[in-house]
Amino acid sequence: MSRVGLQPIEIPEGVTVKEDGGKIEVSGVLGKLEWKFRPEIKVKIQNGLVLVKRDKDTKVAKSLHGLTRSLIANMIIGVNKGWEKKLEIQGTGYRAKAEGERLVLSLGFSHPVVIEPVEGIKFEVDGNNKIKIFGTDKILVGNTAAKIRGTKPPDAYKGKGVRYEGEIVKLKPGKAGKAGAAA
């Protein structure tokens, strides 16, 4: 039995959830999300709760049960409160700035890296080295953060680059024989 899938999801005040033949639609203060779930799973909405059930006990249905419940819960949180990821930029001369909706990064390349926001994503820059990515869709926020981090991941020797807030980068030691090689 899926322990996650059996838990009911509470629908908070100001959020509406509709199920229409294999498709779930969640709307709230921050926007609207919809998602089509697999036919092995059944979703019922009753008494302010969302209940996720499965028809059969096949391996696929069991694996989708908890996943579906988690994704619907994330959609409800997203339209109610939103999701955010924070990134830090470390390195001399590395910085970020917001130009309108776009994010412009100076990461030691010969050109600035311009990142256009996907629909439903907003960027905020705090100072010149902290980036906050905000949106209603948890998957989209995470993918956007990973894309930004992928432009210049942290260097293994000096630690320069873009990293998640609080991420610890283990630095490698440099060349050990450098000082005694001339003697």
- The structure's pTM equals 0.86
What pLDDT does 2 receive?
67
3-class state of residue 166 by DSSP: coil
Mean pLDDT of 11-33: 93
Return contacts of 40-47, CB within 8 angstroms, 24+ apart.
Answer: 40/64, 41/65, 41/68, 43/19, 43/68, 43/72, 44/19, 45/11, 45/17, 45/18, 45/19
- How far is it, in rounded angstroms, from Cα 148 to Cα 113? 10
- How far is it, in rounded angstroms, from Cα 158 to Cα 53? 50
Q: How confident is the model at residue 169 (pLDDT cuts 50, 70, 90)?
A: very high
Considering the chain, what percentage of its residues have pLDDT values greater than 90?
A: 80
- How far is it, in rounded angstroms, from Cα 176 to Cα 105? 34
Measure the CA angle with vertex 154, ends 152 and 155; round to 5°: 100
What pLDDT does 21 receive?
86
What pLDDT does 135 receive?
95
Task: Compute CA distances 90 → 26, 125, 134, whole Å.
Answer: 38, 14, 21
Residues of the chain with CATH 3.90.930.12: 3-80, 83-164
Mean pLDDT of 48-52: 93
Half-sphere exposure of 133 (CA within 13 A, CB side): 29
What pLDDT does 55 receive?
87
Mean pLDDT of 112-125: 94
In this structure, CATH architecture of domain 83-164: Alpha-Beta Complex (3.90)
Q: Look at residue 181 and tell me whether its pLDDT is greater than 80.
A: no
Q: How confident is the model at residue 3 (pLDDT cuts 50, 70, 90)?
A: confident
Q: Does domain 3-80 have CATH number 3.40.640.10?
A: no
Q: Which residues pair with 139 in a beta bridge?
A: none
Half-sphere exposure of 69 (CA within 13 A, CB side): 20
pLDDT tens track for 66-99: 999 999 999 999 999 999 999 999 999 999 999 9
